[in-house]
Amino acid sequence: MSDEKMTAPVEAKPEKKKIILSGIQPTGIFTLGNYIGAVRNWGQLQEDYNCYYFVADLHSLTIRQDPADLRKQSLEAFALLLAAGIDPEKSLVFIQSHVRSHAELGWILACNSMFGELSRMTQFKDKAAKHADNVNAGLFTYPSLMAADILLYQADYVPVGADQTQHLEFTRNVANRFNGIYGNVFKLPEAFLPKEGAKIMSLQDPAKKMSKSDPNPKSRISILDDEDTIMRKFRSAVTDSEAHVCYRDDKPGINNLMTIYSVVTGKTYGQIEAEFEGKGYGDFKTAVGEAVSEELRPIRENFARLIGDKAYLEETYKMGAERAERISGRTLAKVRKKIGLLANPF
């Protein structure tokens, strides 16, 4: 008789995947910049990480929003995440305000955030200057809510753009302070920086970041723009008068187009320079436009299908909210207990 049964090795536990978390505000259709800088990478991380992605609708309230537009854009943002390849079976996808823990921990963390440190946030200063008629308290405590978003889920990594690294640093400081006072509750998250920090600039002013809120629509590619629109916008992109496709410090317009083309096609700058040797900017812009339009085609098509299927979207965000509620509820219960709130009677 074999004693195989007794000696069979216990199967090694698969290593637990690290948690990645990020949010995006529903303030308009994402641009090619949001896509290349964030959402495209989010999809690629799903295999190797436990990914949590959400539509940060509460954060959008810090700027005055038209209620009907906010409702519409929140659903569109959710659909766009799915259209861009985030799979609700693999990742947790939800809408921030559906999960009450965010607002609740946001308040608790606001009570552990210092006036001085919030005053130093450059985004607060920028937004306060831009919206001088509405410098509300939420705009000021925005980083406390963002810290809550992250800390509720014990996230290991947060993929953020350069404009959010200060908020992530703030999150670590608040978590550290809280853990120091009340005992270890929060994991300290780290920034997750994409390999090539592909920052996409405005097509009309390559010194500025491509932005959803730029008043000039020619400055950006929306990820739902149709092929003709994409081609037209690239053709009118601001470059220089040299007519030589190469990556050089004094050619910000061409550098931006080269970055876009390189990310989308996987070609290196050297390969791109060789490909357009002796050709003019017209040919190059056409090639970039075609490559981008092809890259975005499946997103356009998926989006059109998804936005027509409200029942599916509702079912999917409900499923996400339920799971998010369970996960975040565990952290919130610990926090409540630590700081001395009476146990919730329901």
The single residue among 76, 149, 225, 295 that binds ligand TRP, judged by CB under 6 A, is: 149
278: left (phi over 0), alpha (psi -120 to 50) or beta: left
Q: How many residues bind ligand TRP (CB under 6 A)?
A: 13
| Candidates 7-15, 157-165, 173-181, 214-222; binding stretch for ligand TRP (CB under 6 A) | 157-165
Quote the CA–CA distance of 260 and 265 in Å, as a whole number: 9
Q: Is 146 in the site for ligand TRP (CB under 6 A)?
A: yes
The single residue among 59, 209, 251, 285 that binds ligand TRP, judged by CB under 6 A, is: 59
Active-site residue 127, yes or no?
yes
> Shortest approach of ligand TRP to residue 256 CB, angstroms?
20
Quote the CA–CA distance of 111 and 141 in Å, as a whole number: 10
Longest distance between any two alpha carbons in the chain, whole Å: 85
Q: Is 164 in the site for ligand TRP (CB under 6 A)?
A: yes
Residues 6+ apart with CB under 8 A from 313: 75, 78, 79, 82, 306, 307
- Which of residues 21 and 258 has its CB atom nearest to ligand TRP in the complex? 21
Burial 251-284 (b: 16+ CB within 10 A, else e): bbbbbbbbbbbbbbbebeeeebeeebeeeebeeb
Q: Is 158 in the site for ligand TRP (CB under 6 A)?
A: yes
DSSP 276-299: TTT--HHHHHHHHHHHHHHHHHHH
Residue nearest to ligand TRP (CB): 23
- Which of residues 120 and 305 has its CB atom nearest to ligand TRP in the complex? 120
The single residue among 86, 108, 160, 200 that binds ligand TRP, judged by CB under 6 A, is: 160
Active-site residue 233, yes or no?
no
The single residue among 56, 83, 201, 260 that binds ligand TRP, judged by CB under 6 A, is: 56
Annotated active-site residue in 187, 212, 334, 338: 212
Binding site for ligand TRP (CB under 6 A): 21-25, 56, 59, 146, 149-150, 158, 160, 164
